[in-house]
Each structure stands twice: as C-alpha cells, then as structure tokens.
Chain A
C-alpha cells in the first residue's frame, strides 16, 4: 500500500533571487520553478551559484533580493526549521549526521522536545521502524551511523526529511560519493518518490545524471540563469555548451607508451590498517610501467583512501612492499618519498593538498621547502619562491596568476590546478593521483585529464584512483577494482568490460570479473614478463 499522504509537493517559484558575498555575486536575479511530482536538475559548473540558490530555498541563506512563492503565497523563510515546517528539506553534499547516533536517534533529532523525559531508545526505534516500513525504506533503526556505508547514510538523510513531512527534497550533489550501482539504487528510489508526488531538486554538474533522471533542467552559469528546458529538448552536448558557454573537447589517449617497458613502481601484497576497521587494504599487488596509467576503481570506502595514504607515506604499512626502480621504499617517510620522486595529488585538496591560508607561491613551494629547496642556511629565499611560482602559474594557467594571493581566494578548480601544478612541475617519476577531478567543473576536468596524459607521455608511472568510472575508462591503460580492500578485478583497458567492472565494484562476482589474489599476482607477473 502506498503511503499516499506522503507527498503532495508544492508549486515553488523563486524570482529575482540575488545574493552577494563579500566580493562575488553568487546569485544574480535568478529564477527557479519547481512543480509537484517532478525531478528538476539544477545544473552548473562549480561556483555557478547552485548551492547558494538551494540554501536560500532551504532558508539557510537569506537572499539580498528576490521572492519565494509557495503555492501562490510569498514566504520569507526564517531558517531551515521554518523551511522544514513548510515541507522543504535538503540533503547537503556533506551529510549532517552525528556519527555516534543510531539511525533512529538521527531521524528524531530535533523533532523531540528537550524536556521529553519519557524518550526511550526502544520507543523511538519502534516509531522509526514503523515509519520506515510505511515509506518502504530499508534501514535498521538501531544501527550506528558510523557503521553504515555512505549510500545508507544518504538514505537515512532522505528518510529523515520524509519522516519530518518534507515533500520537496533538495539533494546537493547526491552522487558525488556513490558508485555506479549505488547511483542506480538512488535514482530508483527517487523515481518512486516522484511517483508518490514528491518534488525533487538534484543539484549536479554531471550531464549524464541530468539525462537519466531529470524531467526538467535549469542551467546556471556565473550566478545567472542560462536556460530552463523540458526533457527531450536537450542532449548532453547541448547541456555542456550551455553550462560552460563553449564546446568541450574530449581528450583521447594515444599510443601505448609503456609497451615493452619494465615496471618502475611495484606494489606487492600491501596491507594497511584503518583505525578500528581492520585491513582497509588487504594484500593488494600491482605494477606500473613508465608511461602507464593504472586506474584504481571502486566504490568509495573500499580501501582507496588508505591505499593512497600508504603510497604517499602518511599511513602506516602493516606488511607488503613498495618498490621504486627495484629499490624497496616501503614505510619510508613522506619526505623521503618526495625526495625520490613520488608526487601525490590527494583527493581532498583543502584537507590534504593545500594550506588555504597561505599564499599561492607558498603552496607551490610546500613540497620543495621541506625537501631542501628555496633556502640558504635555513633562510628562505622568497624572491626565488615567487619567481618560480610566477613561471608555474603561467605554465599551468592558474587564474588569477598572482603568487601573493591566499589560496583560499581561488575558485575550486584553480585550487586544484595549484595542487596539480606543484606535483607535476617538480621532478618526479611516479604520480599518485586520487580523484583529481572531484568537485571541479567540466573545463578544469578536461584540463586535469590533459595534464595527466602529458605526464604519461613523458614516461611517468601513474596510479589514478577515481570513483568516476568514465574517467578511468578514458584515461587508464589498465584498470583494477578494489572491493573491501582487495583486488576484485583487473584488466587492460581494451579488454575491460564495463559490466564486469561494475559487478566487481558491487562485490558481486560476475563472469570473468572474479579473480583471486593469487591469480591477480600471477597475471601481473605474466604481464611484466611478457
């Protein structure tokens, strides 16, 4: 039976929305409409003003000008609580769940009076379980958030909103940390919510998602409306053009530079623990030859992060070995690895790649200063740092090319360019790149891809970890799949099948997808030998 009172979406109409932050206009006279029972994609590059617009609709941000109409009545939202009361709920890109709470506690958080002394775990769990059944949500109310995989956490976020009576759901970049199978699941449940009458806004910069799920799309560019189109009136190419204002040229991999070369970077039976969760990486082996990109696929949280940290020298290696040019460099310090020519692009650029409060020039020198460059007897040589920075900024097209600005003031894409510029411009032989295009727009993505391929052409050994399978299929010479810290699949690109990769990522052994570690090692060895 359908829970029919669940969703009776509102007609929402936003007009003339304008919001300025210190020096930028995030939204400039933006209009946005939402009809009951539609999935409306809000498409735009990073910094186009999508999230700001939705934060305004959710009452988190107050617009400088403009009005929001809810079923013909103009409303002034006082805050998220107010928005929720009117049936508008939002799931942020970074979930706002308390890691130590159970599912049930997270769901009722904020709905119960602080003075309700009769609140008992059993009661809430029962209430939440009943609601979950009614809404056809497969979640266990007694589990702790921290123990749940990322897609289940997202389901909890969505369920939480429905539990509170939301009938307009705003999802900010909902697929950014999901694998293909999980995205499929998410879209299935969104479709069924749509049938129930919910209105859904998906904030995204991914064109294929718009094609797949949206009934209507609104495109923003630099804080302004570009277009709003009905499904069927656009294709991917048209969306890309509207989003970026120009044609996007695909990069293509050419040649097989690594052919016949010996591997210079070898990972053997690597085991890395991750805090309380044992064996985040459980015996992974692979080789990289000069001029080869090895793509590491997998759903987020299957050991990629620990693998990258270990390769970069910031996580403890329990056992196994890493060889560079045949020399054992296992468990060497990050400083030592950097000196030996290992470059690393961490996936979280603000958390691990940059010091956002230091200047661009200082960030470009972050790796070289500890390694001994740019100083004489311990005294820095700021002129040298800035001169080098100017050159690199020019070469890597960072905008604005001003070495004295704090990195914080650059856009996301340009911040990523600073990381790329630092890691690629220094003398290196191996590059570890983790999700180098996550959260950057189409233009910057294409740029990063081109740079990676240039690095490959120069004969570097590259390990590219990505949750974006399309990216790997485009760039990698060989693809391996991590599932629960183990190698679940590996094949050269020209012999890859997308289906078997997807199955391996989901942990389902499919035809030809399943290989044991021993076989994988043997296969790697055989390739090396040939």
Chain B
C-alpha cells in the first residue's frame, strides 16, 4: 500500500515559510516572531499605563533597558537573576514533559534555601570554601528533591492531583522560611536570617559585577537536563509517558515511576535555585520580594521555551531582563516596584494571548 497522497507544490506565503523554518524541536522562526510581538504589545500597553500614571514612557523605557543591560554590572545582575530562572524553569519543564504539572517549584526552591541556611550555619568553620559550597549545593538539591517527591509519590500511589499537592507544599515551605527569619536564625531587627559564613559563599567569577559560580552552575544544570531528556533511557521514558501514557504502559513503562523521578529531578533543580540565591546572590534568606515568585516565574520561562532545556536559557534571560529592568523603574520614575511587577505580569499574559504558552504539550495534530 502506498501512501496515496500526492505531494502539494510548496506554498509561498510568508507565514507558511516562517512556520516551516524550524530552529529546534518545536521552536520555529514564527514562534520567535510571536515572542517579539508579545514583547512589543507589552511595551505599548505599559506605555499607556505609564501615561495614565503621569510618567514619561521614554524615560521609563530607557530606565528598564539601562538597569537590565546598561553596563556590565547591570548585565551581571540580569544574568544572576536568569540563573535562578533557568533552575526554576527546569524544575517546571522536566515534570511538564511527563504531563505532570509541578507548580511547586517555588516551594521546592524555598525549602532548598531553608536547608542551605540551616546547614551553612552549622558547617565546621575550617572547611575549604569549594568543599563547603559543593556540600551545600548538593544538600539544597536533595532538599528540593525531597520536597518534590511528596507530590510525586502521592501522584504515583494514590493519583493525588499534583497541582494541588505541590502548591500546598509551597505554602508549607514559605512558612518554614518565614519561621527561619523570625524564629530559628533571626538576625537582629532586620528582615532576614543570619548571613551564611564567608567560606560558604560562591566565589565571584567576573570582576566589577556580582556574577558568581551560580551562573555556570545553572548553565551546567540546563545542559545536564538536556542530556537526560534526549540522550538517556530515563529521558526516553519521560517523553513517552508525557506524550502518551497509555502506550507507555502498554510497552512496559511505569507511569508512577516516571512521576516520582520527574518530580524529584524538578525539585532538585528548584533546590539548586535556592542555593544559588543564598550562596551566590544574597548570603541570607530574606522575607518577601527578593526571593518570591521565582518558582512561579520559572513556569512561564519553561513554557515559553516549549519545555526545551536549552531554550530555557534565552527564555530565562528575557524574563530576568524584564524583572531586573523593572526594578530600575523605581529609581528613575519614582514609581512603586509593583508597577515593575505589572510589567512582567503583562508580558506573561500577552504571551498567553499570542498563544505562545499553552497548557498542553505538544501541539497534537487535530484530526
């Protein structure tokens, strides 16, 4: 039997061509153009908003660009923020590939940060800096994995909805963090825990900036995740289960095992974000804004990257630029930081509107 479908002469519409120009699995020039369109639309709406607030868009726009990419120091800040988002993006992407909605990256990151602080304050003082950082990063990843295992195991054993369980675990983790700040390891009157000892801090790798080992660690994490997904037996099973769990079962794969493993892996990556934040950026666990929402933002980062580990890197830089840039708004325009947060939120909503983010993966050909 021949495939009895005569080939059609190729169409020459611009859209058709752009759609067919594929840069990588699931990523076409067309989808990149849509990201740019979403970005443009975000800026237009933001300009209107600023006008209403009585600020000048030009000044604000320059402030955003300048504080995100204006000089090497600022670029460094953006890259460090991006390294957090790369890690939390992976935390979402790996389970998502198995059709498991880990929305608990935030909590897994908080628990990782919590354990990093706790262990760092109690490590022997004389430990070599490299060794102590290695111990803490691994401990933080294990902690995140444990936090992720709870929804994973509940999913595998009693089919508990992982969205709810991972979210509930997040609430617990954030409260643990707050307890650390107020009760366990408080630092005087400041709204932070005690700072970790100097020998546990990640060394700086770019003079004139605050870029530390956190950035290369995040990049390595993305490469490892890519290798696992595309080059290993485990990745093969994760992909198969995510794309068709029934067929996967029929062919001898365990959907439960994949749920547990992907949640543990995702949690470990979120835990990495926690340790990068403590050891590579802040030195202590702060209350509220500085750490808040990176876990959630990681979901958007992962979805824009179409769950591809390597594409998470540019996606994270884009979101980091917006987040760091929006912090600069306050300095130049006197607007509250919440306005900056609106900028990021607007961008996510418009990505949805441009159908770049979909809560279904992949696009199944309609029949």
Contacts and interface: CB of A to CB of B under 8 A. Distances in A.
Interface of A: 20, 22-26, 28, 45, 47-48, 221-223, 312-314, 333-339, 344, 346, 351-358, 362, 365-367, 369-371, 374-375, 378-380, 382, 399-400, 408, 410-411, 413-414, 441, 443-444, 447
A369 B247 CA distance: 13
Contacts of A352: 246-247, 250
Contacts of B231: 379-380, 382
Nearest to B252: A335
Interface stretch (B1-9, B36-44, B76-84, B99-107): B1-9
Ranked 10 nearest A-B pairs via Cβ = A24-B5, A335-B252, A222-B4, A443-B1, A366-B251, A338-B252, A370-B252, A375-B233, A355-B244, A367-B251
Contact of B232 (A336, A380, A447): A380
A447 B362 CA distance: 32
A357 B243 contact: yes
A17 B8 CA distance: 16
Given A20-B8, A23-B7, A369-B237, A45 B1 contact: yes
Given A25-B6, A379-B231, A353 B247 contact: yes
Contacts of B235: 380
A354 B249 contact: no
Given A357-B243, A379-B232, A335 B254 contact: yes
14 contacts: A24-B8, A223-B6, A334-B249, A334-B252, A338-B252, A339-B252, A352-B247, A356-B365, A358-B240, A366-B247, A378-B234, A399-B1, A400-B3, A408-B365
A354 B244 contact: yes
A314 B252 CA distance: 9
B323 to A, nearest CB: 33
Nearest to A444: B1
Nearest to A411: B3
Given A379-B231, A379-B232, A346 B252 contact: no
B236 interface: yes
B3 A351 contact: no
Interface residues of B, number: 31
Contacts of B1: 45, 399, 411, 413-414, 441, 443-444, 447
Among B3, B239, B240, B250, residue most surrounded by chain A Cβ atoms (within 10 Å)? B250
A248 to B, nearest CB: 11
Contacts of B364: 356-357
Contact of B4 (A221, A353, A356, A400): A221
B251 A24 contact: no
Contacts of A314: 249-250
A379 B250 contact: no
A312 B250 contact: yes
A49 to B, nearest CB: 9
Given A23-B7, A380-B232, A355 B250 contact: no
Interface string B166-197: 00000000000000000000000000000000
Interface of B: 1-8, 231-237, 239-240, 243-244, 246-254, 362, 364-365
B232 A369 contact: no
A378 to B, nearest CB: 5
B17 to A, nearest CB: 13
A78 B281 CA distance: 60
A22 B232 CA distance: 33
B239 to A, nearest CB: 7
B51 to A, nearest CB: 41
A87 B42 CA distance: 48
Nearest to B363: A357
A413 B7 CA distance: 18
A338 B246 CA distance: 15
A228 B232 CA distance: 55
Given A355-B248, A356-B243, A399-B3, 14 more contacts: A20-B8, A24-B5, A25-B6, A223-B5, A314-B250, A335-B252, A338-B252, A346-B250, A370-B253, A375-B232, A380-B235, A382-B231, A399-B2, A400-B3
Nearest to A349: B247
A367 B4 contact: no
Nearest to B1: A443
Contacts of B252: 313, 333-339, 367, 370-371
A444 B3 CA distance: 11
Contact of A24 (B7, B236, B237, B246): B7
A47 B234 contact: no
Given A335-B253, A379-B231, A410 B247 contact: no
A354 B8 contact: no
Given A355-B243, A358-B243, A414 B3 contact: yes
A90 B278 CA distance: 63
A385 B235 CA distance: 15
Contacts of B232: 375, 378-380
A335 B251 CA distance: 7
A411 B250 contact: no
A356 B233 contact: no
A353 B6 contact: no
A375 B236 CA distance: 11
B6 A47 contact: no
Nearest to A24: B5
A398 to B, nearest CB: 10
A25 B206 CA distance: 58
B98 to A, nearest CB: 12
Contacts of A367: 251-252
B118 to A, nearest CB: 33
B237 A370 contact: yes
Nearest to A342: B252
Nearest to A336: B252
A105 to B, nearest CB: 27
A356 B250 CA distance: 14
B8 A380 contact: no
A368 to B, nearest CB: 9
A358 B248 CA distance: 12
Contacts of A336: 252
B4 A48 contact: yes
B3 A28 contact: no
A366 B233 CA distance: 11
Nearest to A366: B251
Nearest to A44: B4
